[in-house]
Amino acid sequence: MRRSRHSLTGPFLASVLLLASVACSGRGTARGPPNVITREQISALPDLTAYEIIERLRPRWFRSQTANFSGPILPVVYVDDRRGSLAGIRSTYIERIEHLNSRDATTRYGTGHMGGVIRIVTRPFR
Instruction: Provide the residue ranges of all domains of the chain, joining segments of one domain with +.
Output: 34-122
pLDDT under 70 in the chain at which residues?
Answer: 1-31, 65-66, 126
User: 94-100 and 36-37 as β-strands: parallel, antiparallel, unpaired?
Assistant: antiparallel
What is the CATH topology of the domain spanning 34-122?
Answer: Ferric Hydroxamate Uptake Protein; Chain A, domain 1 (2.170.130)
Rounded CA-CA distance 60/52 in Å is 13
pLDDT in tens, 6-32: 554 544 434 433 333 333 333 333 367
Write down the pTM of the prediction: 0.71
